[in-house]
Structure 1
Amino acid sequence: MAPITSSREEFDEIPTVVGIFSAFGLVFTVSLFAWICCQRKSSKTNKTPPYKFVHVLKGVDIYPENLNSKKKFGADDKSEAKNKPAVPKTSLHLDLEKRDLNGNFPKANPKAGSPSDLEHLTPKTFSEKEQKESTSPDSLKSSSSLCSVEKQDKLGTLFFSLEYNFEKKAFVVNIKEARGLPAMDEQSMTSDPYIKMTILPEKKHKVKTRVLRKTLDPAFDETFTFYGIPYSQIQDLVLHFIILSFDRFSRDDIIGEVLIPLSGIELADGRMLMNREIIKRNVRKSSGRGELLISLCYQSTTNTLTVVVLKARHLPKADVSGLSDPYVKVNLYHAKKRISKKKTHVKKCTPNAVFNELFVFDIPCESLEEISVEFLVLDSDRGSRNEVIGRLVLGASAEGTGGEHWKEIREYPRRQIAKWHMLCDGFGLWRPL
């Protein structure tokens, strides 16, 4: 009976040991989980994602922290607070019925200010007087009497400010207003302007303002804040502004552009107010759109057409940075109907792209008489419409090297034939008949 008693005592001690180990395991697990949560929280608060930007519209800051704090700007904000009307900053309620065509609130006694006083005045103060003059009958008569040469030379002036916040590593661009824009609508003698801004040369950030209706002196007052840009890299950047006029029924009209190299501009002393004349955009000539190397092979037994997009060379620059991000769209047509479409990958920042991509198309008929292939070389542009660099059509009715290439693959089936082709103008696209 003694052995049986000792074994029972051992079994009674097992639950106590298990409970002790379980308690220690639970405490360790909770402590580890709490430590991981604290580490993630601290890393999120200290780490700012690179090149993040925040858009401030008409003085309403959508970021939790106010960038115009006294700690940041010092005495400049005190002087601005005296000149600004008393509007509650925390209130997001806006009386839209009291706004004018520019989206500004009317003022009782507007005072005209010089460009040097622009920093201490809101854009509404110095734009209302010119807005009245631009919409008066006298101004309409004077603008209509200008010759076409003067209209092309005088495209207006863009006002903006630049600033760098060292505490948050943020680059701040405030697009204030534009003055003296040309009228793009001949009937109403006005425009619907808005502005696109790109940071070159990498083109990572492409932002745009809202459209202001029927005005030649738009007051935008929109702030774009880019986070994660080191101050040492500011000197290597270039700001590219494109001023456009919105058109509901066709492509928007390009008024002009402004290019601001930041090399030599010191932002360490605080905010800098700048203005630049708007110049005519440098449009590419249609004579030099580059070349495209295409290889074709027609399989008469299987009724398939193999298309290889090999290379592109001497492509024109798509913007002022001199760099393009080309890719090729391939459209297969049977008579007037597009029956298939393909596209290559985007090649970053190069005028001489190497694609080497193969596409196989099934031909719906035994003859190539009604078949044509269209190649569109485009510049990839994030945030806006991709621009056509050049165009090429191969088919029986195509002229030049396009028709010769098509004739050779018909005479020599099952043979891969490659040729260089000059690209033509991509605007006003021709479609197969």
Structure 2
Amino acid sequence: MEVSTLPSLSRQETEGSLEMETAFSNQGFEGNDATDSSSAWSPEEHEGANVLPAHPSPHEPISKCGDLDVIFDYRPSTQKLLVTVLEAKDIPDKDRSGVSSWQVHLVLMPSKKQRGKTSVQRGPNPTFKDKVTFTKLAPEELSTYAIRFRLYSVRKLIKERMMGERFFYLSNLNQEGEMKVTLVLEPRSNLCSGGSQISLSAISHSDSASSNQSLSHGGVPELLVGLSYNATTGRLSVEMIKGSHFRNLAVNRPPDTYGKLCLLNSVGQEMSRCKTSIRRGQPNPVYRETFVFQVALFQLSDVTLMISIYNRRSIKRKEMIGWLSMGQNSSGEEEQNHWQEMKESKSQQVCRWHTLLES
């Protein structure tokens, strides 16, 4: 994605068309922005195919979003896997989630080319009993695949919201008949009401430390972003919360990363930009930095928020890990849904995970 930019932020400040504030100290910011002279939104191309996300460490989830009962029926002779989603239990009740209709999405990882979803069911313990078939799964290749399960809440006239997810690795399959499994869903976004904010302990879990173990997981880079908008004051708050699966493509060590945010007007001109401080040697960095942009209500549907993550290799060298956009020109359906939920949330923060695009 290429956009024309206005080089000077001071011009916009003097015109008063947009303010940018930070809700934290800027001591960690880079003093010299010369390294940002390249096209900020044209991601570098990286070689390499998708790989399977790493198995999670053997620990109990810090918090969970419910249980999902599933039956797996693998048939080696036809290389087919029949997955039956039975029911979900102990999921967020209507008082917390604001909905009572649910749907489960299934995706074969890492290719994401085979997918399916259940019917929409209502109630605190929805029963699905829907079947999804995955094909061309040779017995000797099962260890290279996983099924990602995501539970979505469904509301009328509004796109579904992802509530929790779980991976099932096909290396654990029973190849001699059916096997029933209860999957513990882990939350991937905050719930609807203000009393269900994301757990700080979950965000700052041990995987945020400088751990070489995280270098080989091969997961898709993701970013947890919090959005809120106050229509009365016109304050758009963007919180960079946490990253996941950030890789250093050049050397085998954890990357030094920072996030760059840019607000664009309806014709792609830069209105304001800002950056997080650098997180050094962390494949799963915790940022917890908030930026506030001043955007009038009538402008909210015409602006685009661009977020990119960079690996700073040296003072004058950087490489883009990935990017996403929300607003008028959203980079995907989940980003568009997140922006819409923010507009409807009445100043409450809405947090969601987003997969970073690499091209």
Q: Output the TM-score relative to the length of structure 2.
A: 0.40
- In our comparison, the structure showing a higher alpha carbon Rg is 1
Structure with more relative contact order (C-alpha pairs < 8 Å, separation 6 or more): 2
